């Protein structure tokens, strides 16, 4: 009996030790930040689309550490440092998570600990490299536009499309390796917002996410967004709307339907929209006598009606209908169509059914020609 009691005591000690190890432990080295500065830990609150403060610790001898509570599910989390702009993104999981940080280059932070953060680090490295290449290319494209070097501009646009294709393929491959990781939902949310995939494609991929991850608030938000997006999918009846015209009147979509109708979301401040406008003008001039109508919906900011009207004139868009509530991203028409990035374009048939979305260049002209015929 005495031996059994000793065994029970030993087992109890093991269990207590396991209890103490629950949760996640943050530690890190940060260069360039003085001792005594605060480190703030926060997490993403999907219900309010904002961050929620959790705890704080301090930097001592260039290091910090803090023991955090147990997580039922992984969560998108952040480190912020007193007196430093920006933050460090990580995923809280019940592991020891270590950071190597330089306060002057937070985006280059190295994170170790847990499968969630390993996947996240791979994704962030990809985004940093993509942003570097795209930023450099945009600067070169501006120079080519200034010098009217059309050959160089055309070549760079092709390279830009290749980068976007590579980005899409990378995200799909990363998703396939991480269907039971929080990152899977981050990837799908990104691809839906950036329109690199259709909502129907994202919905199919969402079905492959593990049941565990589907319980996270971010996954629930994505599910709701995918359900709502059905209203503006190919094959659906285009949501009816009306909006203020440049002359102060009111125009409804139903009044603007032709044999084929383009609903184009743009804004005077949107450079990619302005770059695409000449192609839209060419397409309209080619098919307007055969039944093509366009209604452009501007997402210009409050109080900037004159800028909107000036852009219409500069880009020679006066030939077709225009509406704008001048409410920026709060535009009610954009919300109906689930527009989260511009330019965004919907092609409708004569019955107002969406038959194509987000076509550019020759692809748009070819599709309009096909529908007109």
The per-residue pLDDT for range 89-129, each reduced to its tens digit, is: 999 999 999 999 999 999 899 999 989 999 999 999 999 99
Across the range 246-269, mean pLDDT stands at 95
- Looking at the fold, whether 203 and 273 belong to one and the same domain comes out as no
Q: Is residue 6 assigned to a domain?
A: no
Residue 4: band (very low, low, confident or very high) from pLDDT cuts 50, 70, 90:
very low
For residue 277, what are the domain limits?
242-372
Query: What is the pLDDT, as a whole number, of residue 7?
Result: 41
Are 303 and 326 in contact by the 8 Å Cβ rule? The answer is yes
Across the range 1-19, mean pLDDT stands at 42
- Looking at the fold, whether 247 and 221 belong to one and the same domain comes out as no
Query: Of 174, 203, 232, which residue sits at a domain end?
Result: 232
Q: Is residue 26 assigned to a domain?
A: yes
Alpha-carbon span 249 to 196, nearest angstrom: 36
Q: Is residue 7 assigned to a domain?
A: no
Dump pLDDT digits (tens) for 11-22: 444 444 444 557
pTM: 0.68
Rg from Cα positions in the chain: 26
Are 293 and 253 in contact by the 8 Å Cβ rule? The answer is no
What CATH number is attached to the domain comprising 343? 3.40.30.10
Query: Of 232, 251, 282, which residue sits at a domain end?
Result: 232
Query: What is the pLDDT, as a whole number, of residue 21?
Result: 56
Q: How far is CA 238 from CA 195, 231, 233, in A?
A: 18, 7, 8
- Looking at the fold, whether 104 and 136 belong to one and the same domain comes out as no
Region label for 83, one of left (φ > 0), alpha (ψ between -120 and 50) or beta (otherwise): left
Q: Is residue 14 assigned to a domain?
A: no
- Looking at the fold, whether 260 and 337 belong to one and the same domain comes out as yes
Domain count, the chain: 3
- Looking at the fold, whether 64 and 162 belong to one and the same domain comes out as no
pLDDT averaged over every residue in the chain: 90
- Looking at the fold, whether 142 and 90 belong to one and the same domain comes out as no
- Looking at the fold, whether 288 and 364 belong to one and the same domain comes out as yes
- Looking at the fold, whether 280 and 266 belong to one and the same domain comes out as yes
- Looking at the fold, whether 222 and 252 belong to one and the same domain comes out as no
Query: Of 58, 79, 112, which residue sits at a domain end?
Result: 112
- Looking at the fold, whether 260 and 366 belong to one and the same domain comes out as yes
- Looking at the fold, whether 264 and 360 belong to one and the same domain comes out as yes
Backbone angles phi, psi at 99, to 5 degrees: -125, 140
- Looking at the fold, whether 355 and 290 belong to one and the same domain comes out as yes
């Amino acid at each position: 009996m005495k031996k059994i009691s000793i065994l029970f005591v030993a087992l109890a000690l093991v269990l207590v030790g396991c209890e103490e190890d629950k949760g996640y432990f943050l530690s890190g080295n940060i260069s360039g930040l003085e001792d005594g500065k605060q480190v703030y830990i926060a997490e993403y609150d999907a219900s309010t689309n904002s961050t929620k403060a959790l705890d704080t610790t301090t930097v001592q001898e260039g290091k910090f550490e803090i023991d955090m509570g147990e997580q039922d599910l992984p969560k998108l989390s952040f480190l912020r440092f007193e007196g430093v702009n920006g933050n460090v993104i990580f995923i809280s999981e019940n592991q020891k998570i270590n950071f190597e940080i330089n306060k002057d280059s937070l985006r280059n932070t190295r994170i170790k600990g847990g499968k969630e953060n390993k996947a996240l680090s791979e994704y962030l490295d990809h985004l940093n490299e993509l942003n570097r290449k795209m930023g450099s290319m945009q600067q070169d494209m501006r120079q080519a536009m200034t010098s009217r070097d059309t050959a160089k501009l055309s070549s760079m646009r092709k390279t830009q499309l290749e980068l976007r294709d590579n980005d899409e393929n990378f995200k799909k491959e990363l998703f396939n390796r991480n269907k039971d990781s929080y990152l899977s939902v981050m990837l799908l949310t990104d691809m839906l917002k950036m329109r690199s995939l259709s909502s129907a494609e994202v919905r199919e991929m969402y079905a492959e996410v593990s049941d565990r991850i589907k319980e996270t608030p971010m996954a629930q938000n994505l599910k709701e967004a995918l359900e709502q997006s059905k209203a503006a999918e190919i094959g659906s009846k285009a949501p009816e709307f009306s909006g203020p015209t440049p002359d102060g009147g009111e125009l409804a979509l139903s009044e603007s339907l032709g044999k084929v109708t383009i609903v184009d979301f743009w804004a005077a401040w949107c450079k990619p929209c302005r770059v695409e406008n000449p192609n839209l003008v060419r397409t309209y001039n080619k098919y307007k006598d055969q039944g093509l109508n366009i209604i452009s919906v501007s997402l210009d900011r409050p109080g900037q009606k004159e800028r909107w009207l000036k852009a219409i004139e500069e880009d020679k868009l006066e030939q077709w209908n225009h509406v704008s509530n001048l409410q920026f991203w709060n535009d009610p028409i954009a919300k109906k169509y689930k527009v989260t990035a511009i330019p965004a374009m919907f092609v409708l048939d004569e019955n107002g059914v969406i038959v194509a979305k987000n076509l550019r260049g020759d692809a748009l002209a070819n599709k309009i020609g096909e529908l007109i015929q």
